[in-house]
Amino acid sequence: MKLHLIGLSHKTAPLEVRECLAPPPETVPQELGRIVDLPLVREALMVSTCNRVEVLAATEDEGGEAELSAWLCGGRGQDPQAIAEHLYLYQGADAVRHLFRVASSLDSMVVGEPQILGQIKEAYRAATEAGTTRTVLNRLLHKTFQVAKRVRSETNIGGAAVSISFAAVELAKKIFDSLEGLSALVVGAGEMAELAVEHLMAQGVSRVQVANRTLERAMELARGWGGQAIGLDDLGEVLGEVDIVIASTGSPQAVITAKMARAALKARRGRPLFFIDIAVPRDVETAVGELDGCYLYDIDDLTSVVEANRAGRAVEAGQAERIVAEEVVKFMTWLAGLDAVPTISALAAKAEEIRAAELGRTLKGLEGLSPEQAAALDRLTQALVKKLVHDPIMFIKGASHSKSPDTLRQQLALVRRIFNLEENGGE
């Protein structure tokens, strides 16, 4: 079984490319179904966050990457070739290493942020519910969660943990110097929005309003901080009342339009209005940033905050990289062993078939044998067969630990020829 990881991230693609690939959450099961319908693909999982869109796939043999690339770039409203220029492709151990690094937050815009692990767990849950993961990806994802946990427990990479929401509020502090007494509107009520409200209140914001598609969820979040909840349909009415807007919904379309911002500016009588849009796809129309009095920042504008965070965590990241490298070797050893399982099973099955047949013929010619004596003969032949196949099985397992797939294939072919094992179903 071969592993492929293809995608793009904040390191390789600008926001306008990332947002065109980000699928609406409700379409993910259908997208996963289309991936496993591709030739050679047997298992698939899709990770989509504000900073990356990636597909992890297990194929039966070499190949499949061209089909995955064509699927990922096609039908996205942009030139497929232009999207393809931003893609990266990892295979085998490199794919495993990348997944481990992402889950451990080593590849995040804000190194050490904890949200990415929850997002990968959510992606795995969606894939298992869609029935697109089996032996290889199930094992790989469980290993991924273990690696991320080990990195957090054995390093201080999560110390003074920050998040995209934290970075957004830090950016607001740079703009206003102090947030004391200001009013804010958080659009969305997911984890990012919840963290944003927490950080805003910690910085002395006097009043927070929460707008969300589901009013009950907005009320739940606002209640905890003494804020006010509104529906998305009422956004236009409250924009003129706030100084800062932090937007992080999962909407595929912008929820704040230039028309709404223009009306808000009029109500504010010249007072500026700041938008920090950390959603992908973006929640605020880009035309809002062109209005006099409106200042619009998106997730890629968080760079200065992010760079300060990255420098402060370089030592811990180095230790985390060593853990990742160690765990990659362990997983690839297991994966290589998986290729040897059919041959080992076929060898054991053939030995047992011969033993059972010969024992049956022998017992027919031994009249007067007691049940205890027959059972003893059965145990004897089982022990003999077990000892005879032990060395060939150890030979196969030893080959599976080789770093070379070619060596493993050659060794398996040799064993199949020696023991006359069938190539496919008989193995």
Q: Which amino acids are annotated as binding site for substrate, given as ranges? A: 49-52, 108, 113-115, 119
Write the DSSP assignment of 246-264 as a string of letters: EE----SS-SB-HHHHHHH
Residue 313, CA atoms < 13 Å, CB-side half-sphere: 27
Q: Which helix (H) or strand (E) holds 276?
A: strand 273-277
Q: Which residues are annotated as a binding site?
A: 49-52, 108, 113-115, 119, 188-193
- The token pair that represents 210 in the structure block: 């929460």
**CA 198 to CA 363: how far, in whole Å?**
78
| Helix/strand/coil for 43 | strand
**CA 76 to CA 53: how far, in whole Å?**
13
- The token pair that represents 225 in the structure block: 């901080």
Distance from the Cα of residue 100 to its chain's centroid: 9
> In this structure, are residues 47 and 133 in contact, taking their beta carbons and an 8 Å threshold?
no
Beta strands 244-247 and 273-277: pairing type? parallel
What letter represents residue 31's amino acid? Answer: E
> In this structure, are residues 231 and 218 in contact, taking their beta carbons and an 8 Å threshold?
yes
User: Which whole-number Å values give the CA distances from 343 to 20, 356, 382, 393, 398, in the listed order?
Assistant: 45, 20, 20, 9, 13
Residue 263: which residues within 8 A CB-CB, separation 6 or more?
Answer: 236, 239, 240
Q: Which helix (H) or strand (E) holds 193?
A: helix 191-202
Sheet order of strands, 52-59 included: 41-48, 52-59, 2-9, 88-91
Distance from the Cα of residue 376 to its chain's centroid: 54
> What does the CA dihedral 154, 92, 52, 118 come to, rounded to 10 degrees?
-40
**Of the candidates 345, 336, 340, the residue with the CA atom closest to the CA atom of residue 396:** 340
Q: Which residues are annotated as a binding site for NADP(+)?
A: 188-193
Give catalytic status of residue 50 as yes or no: yes
Q: Which of 20, 50, 73, 294 is catalytic?
A: 50
Q: How many CB atoms lie within 10 A of CB 398?
A: 12
Supply the residues annotated as catalytic: 50
